[in-house]
Amino acid sequence: MTIDVTEIKKDFPVLQRHINGKPLIYLDSANTSQKPVSVMDAMEDYYRQFNANVHRGSYQLANEATAILEGSRDKVTSFINANSRQEVVFTKNATEAMNLISNTWGREHLTDGDAIVLTELEHHANIVPWQMLASEKNFEIRWIKIDDNGHLDLSDFDQLIRGAKLLSFAAMSNVLGTFTPVKELTSRAQEMGLTVHADASQYTPHTKTDVQDMGIDFLTFTGHKLLGPMGIGVLWGKESLLESMPPFLGGGEMILNVTKEGFSTNELPWKFEAGTPMVAEAAGLGAAIDYLSDIGMDEIRNHEIDLTDYALQCLVSEFGETMSIFGPKNSLERGGVISFTFDGAHPHDISQVLDEDNICIRAGHHCAKPLMQVLNVGATSRVSMYLYNDRSDIDALVSGLHKVRDLFIP
Amino acid sequence: MASLDDLYKEIILDHYRSPRNQGELEPPAHRCEGFNPLCGDEVIVFVSLINKKIEEIKIGGQGCSISQASASMMTEIIKGKSVSEAEEIIHAFKEMMDIYESELSGKETDGTSSSIDLGDLEALQGVVKYPVRIKCATLAWNTLTQSINEIQNIDDSL
């Protein structure tokens, strides 16, 4: 079944906007997605009708607010096929979720002489928390390299993971769009005794996520790339692992009891949710999951395969050798993220010229500077698509890029 | 409404396509790196200062048209100047790039309040209409300022 993008676009108010009389062409969803009306309504409803602090009140309003927060947790639980709601922890964003893992599991398990394994595809959020901890605990960080097509080079994988304690990788690259072989990496790493974390910030919004099928130990993602609001992310972890970990932030909500002598921690998942949580954001995330589920993640993925194919074909046929496109050439091996450089025009200038026609794409290092070094570029232009994009957006991009070429390439 | 023609003047594109004074200088010339964390642009300024005069200046690194053209034009106007002359030019340029801020704060300025003739560099005036790009235009200049400060600190400590 194909999805009806014309109808979908109507649900996204910002996509109706015209700036200087021209429509908005939004191709930066890997950066943040736009939000449908239902997400905004859910958040506004919460503040208009249900606002009370959660887990504390003995009155109906507070119980309703609590039901909204915990109801969203249930939606996340089934959306990623987690075993139980105890395994779903709300965080501020994916970055905080990864810092939670490094500060709790990492601090307990990693010490002098240990090693962890990352990949060259990683976003800074899956690099810097580990570097911060490594500078304190003095463990080694090893890197899985990428090949010329932007796939992980697994030729020395067994050697890299030997003796290491953690494998942490992006399930989909935010720069190259590469899907990494999650199940293959996970089963080989777990056989060798490693704990496995997948950063699914780019993955979960665009394709069906099944943590049990993936076999991983931890999964992290953010709400705002998934049609949800900014300010909420998710850490999923196997219950036994989360049970064994010390708490992250201390304060209210995460305790069972506090005395002058000390404290005991609350049960999962609240053990990791210190302080008043982001209830409106959770309501928004729940509405986003409903919206995506109604359309169907498989349908969304198929739509993006089709659109990515079309975009790749257009870019290659229109610009040929003057454009370098990074990452896998086969749209079945990548998500709807296309990074490129254009001979004679810097990414920053490309997006500036496109902006004249309200075409929004990202320019820069995409918070993946080590990957930029591997690709031997300072920056790339990045187009990223979602369920509300169609071929007309790609056509607008192509005509915008012709303007870039006319201006910069005499 | 600002138009692209304000930003991408022919002289800017010319400096971008054919940057002047590109390359490196060997030590004892001073080397200083500047970064724009927003877009990943980097500039390396090499300065050879002899008797308080900038005898030679070269630019390395990579970046967008605005940062590259600004760096290229900077080398042309700065080369051969004394440190105090260079500082006056830097000040005048930064003042030109500050029009947006001045407009926001409601202060009147004609953009060229100092008596320094910035020549080709005035083509960069259009950048102030694109606030995000001001950092591109000033990257090389801030790095040159840092370079001069570092050289003077070294001299002071001798």
DSSP A74-95: HHHHHHTT-S-GGGEEEESSHH
Say what the alpha-carbon torsion angle B85, B87, B88, B92 is, to the nearest 10 degrees.
Answer: 140
Residue B132 has a pLDDT of 85
pLDDT value at B106 more than 90:
no
Residue A151 lies in a domain: yes
Are A270 and A351 within one domain?
A: no
- Smallest CA–CA separation between B63 and chain A, in Å? 7
Backbone angles phi, psi at A253, to 5 degrees: 75, -40
Angstrom CA distances, A365 to A384, B41, B58, stand at 14, 9, 25
- Smallest CA–CA separation between B5 and chain A, in Å? 10
The reply to whether residue A348 touches residue B64, judged by beta carbons under 8 angstroms, is yes
Catalytic residue among A367, A372, A374, A398: A367
Print the domain residue range for A189: 40-294
The reply to whether residue B1 touches residue A364, judged by beta carbons under 8 angstroms, is no
Residue A57 has a pLDDT of 74
Mean pLDDT over A268-287 rounds to 97
Residue A292 has a pLDDT of 98
Residue A144 pairs in a beta bridge with A119
Query: Long-range contact list for A258-263, CB < 8 A, 24+ apart?
Result: none
- Smallest CA–CA separation between B64 and chain A, in Å? 5
Residue A33 lies in a domain: no
Residue B2 has a pLDDT of 65
Least confident of A306-310, B48-52, B102-106: B102-106
Residue A205 lies in a domain: yes
Residue A35 lies in a domain: no
Residue A176 lies in a domain: yes
Among A19, A20, A339, A349, the strongest candidate for a mutation testing the B interface, having the largest count of B CBs within 10 A, is: A349
Q: Answer for the pair B60, B46: CB distance below 8 angstroms, yes or no.
A: yes
| Helix (H), strand (E) at residue A237 | strand A233-237
First to last CA, chain B: 53
Residue A99 lies in a domain: yes
Residue B108 has a pLDDT of 45
Angstrom CA distances, B79 to A222, B32, B46, stand at 50, 16, 11
Query: Long-range contact list for A248-256, CB < 8 A, 24+ apart?
Result: A248/A99, A248/A100, A248/A103, A248/A104, A248/A272, A248/A274, A249/A274, A249/A275, A250/A274, A251/A275, A252/A276, A253/A55, A253/A277
Are A80 and A220 within one domain?
A: yes
Are A247 and A314 within one domain?
A: no
Residue A34 lies in a domain: no
Are A217 and A324 within one domain?
A: no
How many residues are given for chain A? 410
Question: Which member of A346, A365, A410 has the closest CB to residue B65?
Answer: A346
Q: Rounded CA gap, B86 and B95, in Å?
A: 14
Q: Answer for the pair A202, A182: CB distance below 8 angstroms, yes or no.
A: no
Question: Which member of A20, A379, A408 has the closest CB to residue B1?
Answer: A20
In chain A, residues with a C-beta closer than 8 Å to the C-beta of B68 are: 346
A141 vs B3, which has greater pLDDT? A141
Q: Rounded CA gap, A79 and A315, in Å?
A: 34
Residue B129 has a pLDDT of 85
Mean pLDDT over B24-46 rounds to 88
Q: Rounded CA gap, A98 and A127, in Å?
A: 9
- Smallest CA–CA separation between A341 and chain B, in Å? 12
Mean pLDDT over A148-176 rounds to 97
Are A172 and A94 within one domain?
A: yes
DSSP alpha helix (H) spans, chain B: 4-7, 10-17, 65-78, 83-96, 99-105, 131-157
Question: Which member of B8, B42, B66 has the closest CB to residue A378?
Answer: B42
Q: Which residue of A has its CA nearest to B64?
A: A346
State in words which class domain B4-157 has: alpha beta
In chain B, residues with a C-beta closer than 8 Å to the C-beta of A364 are: 38-40
The one-letter amino acid code at A384 reads: S
Angstrom CA distances, A209 to A82, A165, A264, A337, A390, stand at 10, 24, 34, 18, 24
- What is the b/e burial string over A340-364, where b = at least 16 CB atoms within 10 angstroms of the residue's CB? bbbebbbbbbbbbbbbbbbbbbbbb
DSSP B108-142: ---S--SS---GGGGGGGGGGGSHHHHHHHHHHHH
- CATH number of the domain at A399, please: 3.90.1150.10
Residue B101 has a pLDDT of 52
In chain A, residues with a C-beta closer than 8 Å to the C-beta of B133 are: 348, 352
CB atoms within 10 A of CB A133: 20
Between strands A115-119 and A88-91, the pairing is: unpaired
Mean pLDDT over A383-395 rounds to 98
Q: Rounded CA gap, A89 and A255, in Å?
A: 15
In chain B, residues with a C-beta closer than 8 Å to the C-beta of A410 are: 17
Cα B150 to its chain centre, rounded Å, is: 17
What does the pLDDT look like over A201-238, one tens digit per residue? 999 999 999 999 999 999 999 999 999 999 999 999 99
Q: Which residue of B has its CA nearest to A352?
A: B4
Work out how many domains chain A is built from and give that number: 2
Are A385 and A279 within one domain?
A: no
In three-state secondary structure terms, B43 is strand
pLDDT-based confidence at B97, cuts 50/70/90? confident
Domain positions in chain B are 4-157
The reply to whether residue A348 touches residue B136, judged by beta carbons under 8 angstroms, is yes
Question: Which member of A344, A353, A364 has the closest CB to residue B39?
Answer: A364
Residue B131 has a pLDDT of 84
Are A393 and A283 within one domain?
A: no
Q: Answer for the pair B125, B96: CB distance below 8 angstroms, yes or no.
A: yes
Q: What is the ipTM of this complex?
A: 0.82
Residue A311 lies in a domain: yes
Mean pLDDT over A274-292 rounds to 98
Question: Which member of B7, B62, B65 has the closest CB to residue A378?
Answer: B62
Helices A391-408 + A297-319 axis angle, to 10: 30
Instruction: Using the 3D structure, point to which of A294, A322, A351 is the last residue of a domain.
Output: A294
Mean pLDDT over A5-29 rounds to 96
In chain B, residues with a C-beta closer than 8 Å to the C-beta of A378 are: 40-42, 62-63
Residue B30 tokens read as: 């001073």
Instruction: Using the 3D structure, point to which of A247, A274, A294 is the last residue of a domain.
Output: A294
Are A340 and A243 within one domain?
A: no
pLDDT value at B154 more than 90:
no
Residue A307 has a pLDDT of 98
Q: Is A367 an active-site residue?
A: yes
A219 vs B125, which has greater pLDDT? A219
A374 vs B97, which has greater pLDDT? A374
Are A148 and A283 within one domain?
A: yes
In chain A, residues with a C-beta closer than 8 Å to the C-beta of B35 are: none
Mean pLDDT over A11-33 rounds to 96
Residue B22 pairs in a beta bridge with B59
In three-state secondary structure terms, A18 is strand
Least confident of A73-77, A113-117, B49-53, B117-121: B117-121
Are A90 and A105 within one domain?
A: yes
Give the residue numbers in B contacting A (CB under 8 Å), as ranges.
Answer: 1, 4, 7-8, 13, 17, 38-42, 62-66, 68, 130, 133, 136
* pTM: predicted TM-score of the whole model, two decimal places: 0.92
The reply to whether residue B64 touches residue A347, judged by beta carbons under 8 angstroms, is yes
Are A86 and A228 within one domain?
A: yes
- CATH number of the domain at A135, please: 3.40.640.10
Mean pLDDT over A392-406 rounds to 96
Mean pLDDT over B12-31 rounds to 92
Are A10 and A62 within one domain?
A: no
Residue B107 has a pLDDT of 47
pLDDT value at A353 more than 50:
yes
- Smallest CA–CA separation between B116 and chain A, in Å? 29
Q: Answer for the pair A358, A25: CB distance below 8 angstroms, yes or no.
A: yes
Q: How many CB pairs under 8 A join A and B?
A: 48
What does the pLDDT look like over A247-269, one tens digit per residue? 999 999 999 999 999 999 999 99
